[in-house]
Chain A
Amino acid sequence: MIPFETFYQEQYRALLAIAVALTMDRAAAEDLVQETFISAHRRWDRVSQYESPKAWLRRVLINRATSRRRRLGSEMRAVTRIGPPGHVEPDLSAETSEVWSEVRRLPRRQQQAVALHYVAQLSMNEIADIMGCSSGAVKSHLHRAREALKEPLSAWKEDEA
Chain B
Amino acid sequence: MRTVDDRLRAAAAETREYAAKQWPKSLGQPGSARRPSGWLAFAATFALVVVAFAAIPWLMRLDQPGADPDAPPIATSGTTTLPSTTSTGVEAPQCSATGAAVPEPVDGLPPAVAQTTTAIIAAATACDLQTLIDLAGSGFTTDFGGGDAETMRTWEEEGQGHLGDLLTVLGMSHAVVDDGAGGEIYVWPSAFAYDNWEEIPQDALDELSALYTQEELEQISLLGAYGGWRVGIDESGDWMFFVAGD
Residues of A at the B interface (CB closer than 8 Å) are 5, 8-9, 12-14, 16-17, 20-21, 30, 34-36, 38-39, 41-43, 46-47, 49-53, 55-56, 59-61, 63-64, 66-67, 69-77, 90-93, 95-96, 99-100, 103, 109, 114, 118-119, 121, 129, 131-134, 137, 146, 149-150, 153-154, 156
Mask of B76-113 contacts with A, CB within 8 angstroms, 1/0: 00000111000100111111101110000000000000
Contacts known (A52-B92, A99-B7, A100-B11); A46 close to B215, Cβ less than 8 A: no
Partner of B49, one of A9, A38, A53, A61: A38
Q: How far is the CB of A118 from chain B (nearest CB, A)?
A: 4
Q: A73, B209: Cβ atoms under 8 Å?
A: yes
Q: A16, B22: Cβ atoms under 8 Å?
A: yes
Residues of B at the A interface (CB closer than 8 Å) are 1, 4-5, 7-12, 14-16, 18-20, 22-24, 27, 30, 39, 45-46, 49-50, 81-83, 87, 90-96, 98-100, 156-161, 164, 209-215, 217
Q: List 24 A-B contacts (CB under 8 A).
A: A9-B30, A13-B19, A16-B19, A17-B15, A17-B20, A20-B18, A38-B50, A39-B81, A46-B87, A59-B99, A63-B98, A70-B209, A73-B209, A74-B215, A75-B214, A90-B15, A91-B18, A95-B7, A95-B11, A96-B11, A118-B11, A134-B159, A146-B5, A149-B4
Q: A13, B14: Cβ atoms under 8 Å?
A: no
Partner of B98, one of A59, A72, A119: A59
Q: A129, B15: Cβ atoms under 8 Å?
A: no
Contacts known (A73-B213, A74-B215, A131-B159); A56 close to B98, Cβ less than 8 A: yes
Q: How far is the CB of A103 from chain B (nearest CB, A)?
A: 8
Q: A92, B14: Cβ atoms under 8 Å?
A: yes
Give Cα A57–Cα B164 distance, bound, in whole angstroms: 16
**In the complex, residue of chain A having the shortest beta-carbon distance to the beta carbon of B96:** A132
Q: A119, B16: Cβ atoms under 8 Å?
A: yes
Q: B161, A17: Cβ atoms under 8 Å?
A: no
Partner of A71, one of B14, B87, B210: B210
Q: How far is the CB of A97 from chain B (nearest CB, A)?
A: 9
Give Cα A156–Cα B49 distance, bound, in whole angstroms: 41
Hey, which chain A residues are within 8 Å of B39, CB to CB?
Answer: 5
Hey, which chain B residues are within 8 Å of A69, CB to CB?
Answer: 213
**In the complex, residue of chain B having the shortest beta-carbon distance to the beta carbon of A141:** B159
Q: A50, B27: Cβ atoms under 8 Å?
A: no
Hey, which chain A residues are within 8 Å of B87, CB to CB?
Answer: 46
Hey, which chain A residues are within 8 Å of B212, CB to CB?
Answer: 70
Contacts known (A9-B30, A72-B213); A146 close to B4, Cβ less than 8 A: yes
Hey, which chain A residues are within 8 Å of B158, CB to CB?
Answer: 133, 137
Hey, which chain B residues are within 8 Å of A118, CB to CB?
Answer: 8-9, 11-12
Partner of B99, one of A36, A93, A137, A150: A36
**In the complex, residue of chain B having the shortest beta-carbon distance to the beta carbon of A44:** B83
Give Cα A49–Cα B88 distance, bound, in whole angstroms: 12
Q: A46, B23: Cβ atoms under 8 Å?
A: no
Q: A13, B22: Cβ atoms under 8 Å?
A: yes
Partner of A38, one of B10, B15, B46: B46
Q: A56, B214: Cβ atoms under 8 Å?
A: no
Give Cα A49–Cα B159 distance, bound, in whole angstroms: 25
Give Cα A13–Cα B27 distance, bound, in whole angstroms: 12
**In the complex, residue of chain A having the shortest beta-carbon distance to the beta carbon of B168:** A67
Q: B213, A20: Cβ atoms under 8 Å?
A: no
Hey, which chain B residues are within 8 Å of A95, CB to CB?
Answer: 7, 10-11
Hey, which chain B residues are within 8 Å of A149, CB to CB?
Answer: 4, 7-8
